[in-house]
Structure 1
């Protein structure tokens, strides 16, 4: 399965996520490019010394895009 980076809704950190499904490409007028949304599952991740974030939920996120932010997460 493909993995991408997203932001965790609970701890707000950049985390890995597995792509479960991909939807049709859509044109984004604000950036002038195409984006593809999909459903991803957040993988378990650490939030500090010996502490794990328990949020491993499924969320809707951008899975394909031409633009990324400074942390490498697609926007």
Structure 2
């Protein structure tokens, strides 16, 4: 059995998303806390992918997510305009 954990940067690269997305939504995403370090394993990355999966016109989207988690709770950070 191989145990593989990913840090924020590695997880973001595997998911092809911004590190900021993971940081900003960490309270709604499955992950591990190892001391102060945040880690993700393969199962957690797959769960995140499934949470973000969109299948238009399908009711299966809501039933495929772990209970208590909702895509509606994951929102991009509001960016300020400079100047």
Q: TM-score, normalised by structure 2?
A: 0.23
State the structure with more CA Rg: 2
Higher helix share: 2
The TM-score, its normalising length taken from structure 1, stands at 0.25
